Structure 1
Amino acid sequence: MAEQRYLNILVPVDGSKEAEIALDKAIAVTKRNGSEAHLHILHVIDTRAFQNVSSFDTTMVEQVSETAKETLDEYVERAKAVGVENVSYTIEYGSPKAIIAKEAPKEVNADLIMIGATGLNAVERILIGSVTEYVTRTADVDVLVVRTNDAASL
């Protein structure tokens, strides 16, 4: 059987420690898969989070977007610093579950989603559901759930 090579790796990030660990492993996997491999970093701004804010205005979304853009620029530089040339990012707006599981993988032709394990406790998972759990259950491409930052597992 031929060795599995992933050439379009999608890694969703949300600023959590778990997402940072997934990003670092995705960078390593992209690098290991050669110069034709492409790393796509995705950040989804959950617009539903703004619906309950009484003083909601567009400047809030702009501020969140600008902060996300600065962070994603840093992530791209982190990847390039270790030799990953093909790296890009996207900022999407809407439901993280649907975008990460279905929309973004189609847009970037992803063959692997590398996603951080949820930071939610059991009660939170029951009440709001884990994005990671949803993605692993419904995505049409391979999903690797990153649970540790153990370099030996790279």
Structure 2
Amino acid sequence: MVETLHEYHKVMVAIDGSDQSEQAFEKAVHVAKVNHAALLLCHVVDIRSFSSETSIMDAGMFEELHQSMQVKLDAYADLAHQKGIEEIQTIVETGSPKELLAQDIPKNEQVDLILCGQSGLSAVERFLMGSVSSFIISHAPCDVLVVRSEET
């Protein structure tokens, strides 16, 4: 019996600016191209990175970070288009990266594959907050591919 491989229609990649997320982007472009799939580039501005002391400036900071990441995602989108991806969408949200990347965005956007870097956090940050990629693996409604760093 010949088994058919699953074909992906919408591939999401989480971009956080780390080397690992850049490697995940490269692999997502490849997977999207091979599957003739749409590519969804996502970033979540993490609300935990702001303390209550900065609440007065939060709105301005969030907007600045949001715009900065949108520019970066647009650059990634241009690069993906140059590599042959025709359907590309970008999303920049503010909130909990775990919840938004693992559940809300994939469900709302009908994603059937999520790619993310192994970790953009230091060992201490992973211990204290938990890895976003680990949360995605455990809670995503679709397949997940964690791209390991080339150094490991």
Does residue 13 of the first structure (1) align with residue 15 of the second (2)?
A: yes
Structure 2: give runs of 5+ residues left out of the alignment.
Answer: none
Does residue 94 of the first structure (1) align with residue 95 of the second (2)?
A: yes
Distance in 2 of aligned mates of 1:63 and 1:17: 22
Structure 1: give runs of 5+ residues left out of the alignment.
Answer: none
Q: Summarize the Cα distance change of 1:121–1:41 in structure 2 as closer, same or farther, 3 Å threshold.
A: same
The match for 1:24 among 26, 32, 46 is 26
Q: What secondary structure is seen at the aligned counterpart in 2 of 1:104?
A: helix
Distance in 1 of aligned mates of 2:120 and 2:104: 23
List aligned pairs for 1:63-102, cutoff 5 A: 63-102=64-103
TM-score normalized by the length of structure 2: 0.90
Deviation readout 1:95-116 (Å, 9 max, x if unpaired):
0000011001011101100111
Q: Considering only aligned residues, what root-mean-square deviation do their CA atoms show, in Å? A: 1.7
Structure 1 counterpart of 2:41, which letter? I
List aligned pairs for 1:3-152, cutoff 5 A: 3-34=5-36, 37-54=37-54, 56-148=57-149
Equivalent pairs, count: 148
Contact 1:8 1:40 in 2 (8 A): yes
Deviation readout 1:31-88 (Å, 9 max, x if unpaired):
1112xx1000111011232234435242211211111111011010000001100111
Q: What secondary structure is seen at the aligned counterpart in 1 of 2:138?
A: helix
Structure 2 counterpart of 1:39, which letter? L
TM-score normalized by the length of structure 1: 0.89
